Structure 1
Amino acid sequence: MTKRLEGKTALITGAASGIGKGIATAFVKEGAKVAIVDLNEELGNQAIKDLQEYQSDSIFIQANLMEHEQLAGIVKKVAEHFGKLDILVNNAHASRQNSIEATTKADFDLSFNTGFYPTFYLMQAALPYLKETKGKIINFASGAGIEGHANQASYVAAKEAIRGVSRVAANEFGPYGINVNLISPISNSPGVEKWASENPEYYQAVLSKIPLQRFGEPESDIGRVAVFLASADSDYITGQTIMVDGGSIKLR
């Protein structure tokens, strides 16, 4: 049986752990070769060892995505290593929680410099390669942005900016046969576990509003949807935000 991503190559940011690693694992199990990009060298090296059990050609690139001038070089390195680039997954994002009253420019700088700008610059740098392969871009939205969660101003601003620019990219890149979609997940991850331990009441409140009554799993829930969006099965879908959140938000 042919694997859905056989022969495909992917660049995935923030893939040393959590959702990014879950997506990378789902991809390699479907035959893709992946380059995972992450700041954490220790976790990145461990992640690539795990992935190489399924795909020996996968690689880890240690990088700080806040160094925006380096991003085009990362894309070039991945494309040259694999000979092409089929899939770009912009998963990485860091932020701090603060009320609007307490939010500072530094909060916005962190969120935009790790989330929005890398997403934008990596799409820009990947475009020539994705034109050649009629590739796929998967970006990340958030229910916090869609619903405007309290104490998330800087994160929400960056996430909604990502949604907006992804819709523009879908319109601009569509004529080249490139699909651009977003996943808005609720998932277990190290970040969520930390957040849950620090905000147990908020965690329970979020959990209680999930119709399926659980947080998603990075590989089996989020990763499988990413496989669909990265495969030929999604060729006629672009510019969409896919809610992978157990039914928490129903977009209209």
Structure 2
Amino acid sequence: MEQQKHNTELNSAKLSDTKLGNKVALITGAGQGVGQGIAIALAKQGARIAVAGRTEAKLKQTCELIHAFGGEAQPFIIDITDAASTTDCVEAVVSHFGGLNILVNNAQESPLGLLNELTEIELERGWQSGPMATFRLMKLCYPYLKGDGSIINLASSASKRWDMSGYGGYAAVKEAIRSLTRTAANEWGPDNIRSNVILPVAKSPGLGWWAEHNPEEAQAFLNTIPLQRFGDCVDDIGQFVAMMCSDESRYLNGQSIALDGGQAYLG
């Protein structure tokens, strides 16, 4: 037991000397998939992670994965569609860690379906969990991010599909997130807060479910990726986000970057 404790302390000391040593990151939807991958990658670079989401068991699982290599993580329950819950979460994170340096808005409900089938309720939930939640969290975290902050918001290249059938609602809310991010980059840049967007294609549980239930469409989708594979949540998505949040990318601001193996052209 003492040896295990000693090893953990050594690992923690090593992590504090890495790219994100002792920075605090709040990541929504971090219980699985891309959010979990980003949480693990940032923790490996020394960040202390606020693992936020709706399902406590999943949040604890992510924390355990981080604790296993000596990282620091704490679970926080949040309903990103509820203003009070969001406010309480941010306050709890700052109280626990003593500050906040990185915000990753990852959680999102996806309003998918043809326009004649997509309901107003589904589109509204996409709006509330996407642009509105992103807007709310950015503003709540702004006072703590001033001076040395990085915001990473998640969007999608769905609006760049030549055939957007079935993706109109999803693309609409994701494009709104890109607009909010670009605005924050301009308005908050003087406060030394950098705001950027990633548009990932990764083998998350959600994509896995979709591929299993739509095998032909999934194969056709995969064929449009030049690298011919889906991204790994930790190694392909998370590690890049860690670099975006580090001093190595201190001049990166207001950009949308497709982490999709070359599939989308954003020009």
For this structure pair, what is the TM-score category when the shorter chain's length is used for normalisation? over 0.9
Query: Cα distance, 1:154 vs. partner?
Result: 1.9
| Structure 2 residue 134 is matched with structure 1 residue 119 | yes
| Structure 2 residue 106 is matched with structure 1 residue 105 | no
Contact 2:44–2:71 (CA under 8 A) maintained in structure 1: no
Choose the corresponding residue for 1:89, options 104, 107, 126: 104
- For 1:219, the equivalent position in structure 2 comes to 234
Choose the corresponding residue for 1:157, options 172, 181, 193: 172
Query: Cα distance, 1:145 vs. partner?
Result: 2.7
Alpha-carbon distance in structure 2 between the residues aligned to 1:206 and 1:217:
16
| Structure 2 residue 52 is matched with structure 1 residue 40 | no
Query: Cα distance, 1:69 vs. partner?
Result: 2.5
Give the gaps of 5 or more residues in structure 1.
none
| Structure 2 residue 76 is matched with structure 1 residue 74 | no
Query: Cα distance, 1:221 vs. partner?
Result: 0.1
**What is the aligned residue count?**
251
Query: Cα distance, 1:96 vs. partner?
Result: 3.5
Contact 1:146–1:160 (CA under 8 A) maintained in structure 2: no
Alpha-carbon distance in structure 1 between the residues aligned to 2:141 and 2:107:
16
| Letter of the structure 1 residue corresponding to residue 116 of structure 2 | E
Choose the corresponding residue for 2:30, options 8, 15, 24: 15
- For 1:142, the equivalent position in structure 2 comes to 156
Give the gaps of 5 or more residues in structure 2.
1-13
Please list every run of at least 4 consecutive aligned residues from structure 1 whose deviation after the TM superposition is greater than 4 angstroms.
Answer: none
Contact 2:46–2:71 (CA under 8 A) maintained in structure 1: no
Alpha-carbon distance in structure 2 between the residues aligned to 1:55 and 1:140:
27
Secondary structure in 2 matching 1:250: coil
Does the C-alpha gap of structure 1 residues 72 and 169 become closer, same or farther in structure 2, counting only changes over 3 Å?
A: same
Does the C-alpha gap of structure 1 residues 82 and 55 become closer, same or farther in structure 2, counting only changes over 3 Å?
A: farther
- For 2:191, the equivalent position in structure 1 comes to 176
Alpha-carbon distance in structure 1 between the residues aligned to 2:242 and 2:71:
19
Contact 2:225–2:262 (CA under 8 A) maintained in structure 1: yes
Alpha-carbon distance in structure 1 between the residues aligned to 2:201 and 2:154:
11
- For 2:207, the equivalent position in structure 1 comes to 192
Q: Identity rate of aligned residues, in percent?
A: 39
Q: RMSD over aligned Cα, in angstroms?
A: 1.3
Secondary structure in 2 matching 1:6: coil
Structure ID, larger Rg: 2
Contact 2:160–2:266 (CA under 8 A) maintained in structure 1: no
Query: Cα distance, 1:97 vs. partner?
Result: 1.9
Contact 1:32–1:55 (CA under 8 A) maintained in structure 2: no
Does the C-alpha gap of structure 1 residues 146 and 75 become closer, same or farther in structure 2, counting only changes over 3 Å?
A: farther
Q: Which moved more, 1:40-49 or 1:227-236?
A: 40-49
Secondary structure in 2 matching 1:180: strand
The superposition leaves residues 123-179 of structure 1 with CA deviations (integer Å, 9 ceiling, x where unpaired) of: 000000001x42000001101133363202221111000001111111001010110
Contact 2:160–2:265 (CA under 8 A) maintained in structure 1: no
- For 1:50, the equivalent position in structure 2 comes to 65
Query: Cα distance, 1:68 vs. partner?
Result: 2.2
Secondary structure in 1 matching 2:96: helix
TM-score, length of structure 2 as denominator length: 0.90
